[in-house]
Chain A
Amino acid sequence: MNTPVTIYVPGDASACSLGADRVALAIEAEAARAGRAVRIVRNGSRGLFWLEPLVEVATQAGRVAYGPVAAGDVPKLLAAGMLEGGTHALRLGDIQAHPYLASQQRLTGERLGIVDPASLDDYLAKGGYAGLEAALAMQPLDIVRAITESGLRGRGGAAFPTGIKWQTVHDQRAAQKYITCNADEGDSGTFSDRMLMEGDPFALIEGMTIAGIAVGATQGYIYLRVEYPHAARALARAIVIARARNHLGDNIRGSGKRFDIAVRLGAGAYICGEETSMLESLEGRRGEVRVRPPLPAIKGLFGQPTVVNNVVTLATVPIVLARGAQHYKEFGTGKSRGTIPLQLAGNVKQGGLVERAFGLTVKELVYDYGGGSASGRPVRAVQIGGPLGAYLPASEFDTPLEYEALAAKNALLGHGGVVVFDDHVNMARMARYALEFCAVESCGKCTPCRIGSTRGVELMDRIIAGRADSSRNGAQTADLALLDELCDTMFNGSLCGLGGMTPFPVRSAMKYFPEDFQRPG
C-alpha cells in the first residue's frame, strides 16, 4: 500500500452545515475506489466560510486548498489529481496566501484550521504549551503582571482588564478557587468561541491551566451552550487526551501542579452569558442575575473567589505568556491592545473570521474583507456586538472597531460580531425584535427588563402599525417619545446588561433610521 495522503476536511460546525461530513465520506470512498490510501484529518475552519467546505491536501509543495467542495465534486477532483495538488476549477492553492488570510494578524487563532484539534502532539508541534512552560517558570504574581501588562481585556464583551480580575482572585485567601470559562456564546453574529473550541481546544485548556496556576485555582469549569454539540465533542475529546497525558490532573507536565477542567452544558438561556447568571446556572439553579457586589472575583462560584473569562480571552493567554506581554501589546491602538477576532456575518458575500489588531474600520471589514452584501444590494446597516449592540448606518462606517471609538458613538464592540444588513431591512422591525428578544430571554429578576421589554414590544407594534395610519400623526410622536423614555428606564434601572443594553439597538435604530419609525412625509 502506498503512503497515505493527508487530507484536511474541516469538522467545524459551519463547514458541516454546508456538507463537510458528506465530503469527507465521499473522499474516503473515491480514494478507496482508486486504490489510494488517504488519512483524513477533521481540522477546524480557517474562517473563510464562503469557501467551505474547504478541503486541503498535504502535498510535497505544502498544503493545497480546494473549495467550496460539494460531495458531488469529489470524483472529478480526484480524477483531476487532487491528491497531488492537481489543477481544477475549485483549486485555490495555498490558502495562507489568500488575501483574506494573508492580511490578517492571527494570534489567538493562529492554529485555526491548521492544527488537528484531536491531537495533542500536533498542538505541541505548533507551539502549544510554550505559554504554560513559561508560566511554570514564573511566580504566580508575575504571571498576573504579564497579563496586566499585555493590556488584554475581556473579549466576551465587557472588556474588563483581565489582569486586574486575576489579581483580585489571586489576592483572596480561600480553600478553593475556580476558573470558569464563559462559553455561552449567545450573541447573534458571533462564532469565534465556537471556532476556537472546535478547531484548537487545547489552547483553551492551556489558557485555563495558566489562569489556575496564576491565581491558585485547581478546578476549572467550561460553561458551554447546549446549541454547540460540535464544540462539546471537541472539548470532551481534548480534555480526555490532556488528562491521559498529564496536561490536566495532579501533575501537570511534571510540575507537581494540579488543575482539572469539567464541561458543564447550559440549557438554552441567553442570560446565562451574563457572568453572575452563569455562576447561578453552574450551581444548578435558575440563571437569575446576582446583585453585585460582591464581585465573582471575591465571592463567585459556590461562594469562592472565581475568575470568569470568555473563551477568546483564555485562549489568548498562552500566546501572551509564550511571546511576552510586550509582543502582544504592540498590536492595537489606545486602550484596545492586541488583536480581536472579528466575526463577519449576515448579509455579506465573504463572511468569516477576521483577526486583526484593533483599529480596522467597519468599512474595511464589510467591503475589503466582506466584499459587500451577499444579495448585491446596498449595505444599509450593521449591528455590532450582538443583540444588545447598536446599529450603525453606512455614514458611520469609518468608525474604527475598537472599544473607545465605538463607546463614543453609543455603540459597543461586545464579542466582536458584525452583522450586515442590506437595504431590505426594516429598522423598526429590528428594534421590535431587540425588545422581543429581551422579553424572551429576560431572567425576570428586575422589573425594567421583565416588564419593560414586553411593554416595548407593544409600543413597537403600535409604532409600526401607526406608520400607515394617517389619523395618528400626534400619537406617533407621543409613542416615540414614550419609547425613548422606556429605553431610559431600562438603561438606568436594569440589574444587568440584558435589560440595560437592549436600548442600544433600539435607540440607534431610532436615531439613524428615523424614516422607518415616523409617519412618511
Chain B
Amino acid sequence: MNNEAEKIRSSVASAVQKFAGEPGPLLEILHAVQNELGCVPADAVPQIADALNLSRAEVHGVVSFYHHFREYAPGRYVVQLCRAEACQAMNARALEEYVRGKLRLNFGETTPDGRITLEPVYCLGNCACAPSMMVNGELHGRVTPESFGAIAKEWGVS
C-alpha cells in the first residue's frame, strides 16, 4: 500500500472512530478528514460509506452537495472573496476583477505552483466592514486593491 493511500485510510479510520457513535455523523467525519488532508479524496468515499453502512453514492452526494467540501487539496493559501450584496455595495465587483487579474485565477482555480486557491464566498458576516476576504480562516475587512496587494506579498505575489 502506498503512502498516500495509507494516509487516507488512517485519517478516515480515526475520524470514523471519533464520530461514528454520534447520531448523524457523516458531516462531522467529512470535516475531520478534510481538516487533516485538506480535502475529501475520492478514495476516502468507499471507506466512509462502509463504516456508516451507506452507499458510495450517498456519501459522494453529500460531499458534492456542500461548497465547503472538496475532492482535491487546495493551494497553501485559500483566498475566499465575498461576493454578497453588502460587499458589492462597497465595490467588491471591482476588487474581484483586480484580484483575479493579480493572481491570474478564476474562482475555483489554483495557481500552477500550488500556492494560492481563489474561491467565492457568500457572506462572512463582516458586512459593516465590507468588502471582506478570508484567508485560511483569517478575516480581512475593508479590503482595497492596495491592502490586498500588501497581503498578497506575504504569499510571494508581487
Q: A430-447 interface mask toward B, CB cutoff 8 Å, 1 = contact, 0 = none?
A: 100100010011010000
Answer whether residue B51 sits at the interface, using C-beta atoms and an 8 A cutoff.
Answer: no
Residues of B within 8 A of A49 (CB): 128-129
Chain A: CB-nearest residue to B124: A227
A17–B121 contact, CB under 8 A?
no
Q: B13-40 interface mask toward A, CB cutoff 8 Å, 1 = contact, 0 = none?
A: 0000000001111111011000000000
Known contacts A269-B67, A345-B86; decide if A17 and B132 are in contact (CB<8 Å). Answer: yes
A191–B126 contact, CB under 8 A?
yes
Min CB–CB distance B56 → chain A (angstroms): 14
Please report which residues of chain A, range 250-302, place their CB below 8 angstroms from some CB of chain B when the two chains form the complex.
Answer: 262, 264-270, 281-288, 302
In the assembly, what is the distance between CA of A452 and CA of B89, in Å? 26
Answer whether residue B141 sits at the interface, using C-beta atoms and an 8 A cutoff.
Answer: yes
Min CB–CB distance B153 → chain A (angstroms): 17
The DSSP consensus for interface residues of chain A is: mixed
In the assembly, what is the distance between CA of A49 and CA of B125, in Å? 12
In the assembly, what is the distance between CA of A153 and CA of B66, in Å? 30
A287–B66 contact, CB under 8 A?
yes
A433–B127 contact, CB under 8 A?
no
A227–B125 contact, CB under 8 A?
yes
Q: B49-61 interface mask toward A, CB cutoff 8 Å, 1 = contact, 0 = none?
A: 0000000001001
Min CB–CB distance B137 → chain A (angstroms): 5
Partner of B127 from A193, A265, A345 at Cβ < 8 Å: A345
B137–A191 contact, CB under 8 A?
no
In the assembly, what is the distance between CA of A212 and CA of B69, in Å? 32
Answer whether residue A420 sits at the interface, using C-beta atoms and an 8 A cutoff.
Answer: yes
Range of interface residues on B (Cβ < 8 Å): 35 or more
B90–A13 contact, CB under 8 A?
no
A267–B129 contact, CB under 8 A?
no
Answer whether residue B8 sits at the interface, using C-beta atoms and an 8 A cutoff.
Answer: no
Residues of A within 8 A of B22 (CB): 262
Answer whether residue B76 sits at the interface, using C-beta atoms and an 8 A cutoff.
Answer: no
Known contacts A227-B134, A267-B31, A283-B24; decide if A194 and B66 are in contact (CB<8 Å). Answer: no
Answer whether residue A135 sits at the interface, using C-beta atoms and an 8 A cutoff.
Answer: no
Min CB–CB distance A358 → chain B (angstroms): 21
A188–B123 contact, CB under 8 A?
yes
Min CB–CB distance A420 → chain B (angstroms): 6
Answer whether residue B85 sits at the interface, using C-beta atoms and an 8 A cutoff.
Answer: yes
Known contacts A267-B69, A269-B65, A440-B122; decide if A191 and B31 are in contact (CB<8 Å). Answer: no
Please report which residues of chain A, range 294-334, place their CB below 8 angstroms from some CB of chain B when the two chains form the complex.
Answer: 302
A351–B89 contact, CB under 8 A?
no
A281–B27 contact, CB under 8 A?
yes
Residues of B within 8 A of A383 (CB): 85
Min CB–CB distance A81 → chain B (angstroms): 29
Residues of B within 8 A of A270 (CB): 122
Chain B: CB-nearest residue to A231: B125
Known contacts A269-B67, A345-B86; decide if A284 and B24 are in contact (CB<8 Å). Answer: yes
Known contacts A265-B27, A282-B24, A420-B89; decide if A227 and B62 are in contact (CB<8 Å). Answer: no
Please report which residues of chain B, range 104-158, place their CB below 8 angstroms from some CB of chain A when the two chains form the complex.
Answer: 121-130, 132, 134, 137-142
Q: A13-35 interface mask toward B, CB cutoff 8 Å, 1 = contact, 0 = none?
A: 11011100000000000000000
Answer whether residue A189 sits at the interface, using C-beta atoms and an 8 A cutoff.
Answer: yes
B88–A433 contact, CB under 8 A?
yes
Residues of B within 8 A of A190 (CB): 123, 125, 127
Answer whether residue B103 sits at the interface, using C-beta atoms and an 8 A cutoff.
Answer: no
In the assembly, what is the distance between CA of A417 and CA of B85, in Å? 11
Answer whether residue B81 sits at the interface, using C-beta atoms and an 8 A cutoff.
Answer: no
A265–B86 contact, CB under 8 A?
no
Residues of A within 8 A of B137 (CB): 229
B126–A13 contact, CB under 8 A?
yes
B68–A268 contact, CB under 8 A?
yes
Please report which residues of chain B, range 58-92, place their CB below 8 angstroms from some CB of chain A when the two chains form the complex.
Answer: 58, 61-62, 65-69, 84-90
Min CB–CB distance B54 → chain A (angstroms): 9
Answer whether residue A346 sits at the interface, using C-beta atoms and an 8 A cutoff.
Answer: yes
In the assembly, what is the distance between CA of A122 and CA of B78, in Å? 37
Min CB–CB distance A67 → chain B (angstroms): 13
Answer whether residue A448 sits at the interface, using C-beta atoms and an 8 A cutoff.
Answer: no
> Chain A: residues with CB nearer than 8 A to chain B?
13-14, 16-18, 49-50, 52, 185-191, 193-194, 226-230, 262, 264-270, 281-288, 302, 343-348, 351-352, 374, 383, 387, 417, 419-422, 425, 430, 433, 437, 440-441, 443
The list of the 4 closest CB pairs from A to B, nearest first, reads A351-B128, A284-B26, A188-B84, A17-B141
Given contacts A191-B128, A287-B66, A417-B86, list 13 more A-B pairs with CB under 8 A.
A185-B125, A188-B122, A264-B28, A270-B122, A284-B24, A288-B65, A345-B89, A383-B85, A387-B85, A387-B122, A419-B86, A422-B89, A437-B84
A selection of 14 A-B contacts at a CB cut-off of 8 Å is A14-B125, A17-B140, A189-B86, A190-B125, A269-B68, A282-B24, A284-B24, A284-B25, A286-B61, A345-B86, A345-B128, A348-B128, A387-B85, A419-B89
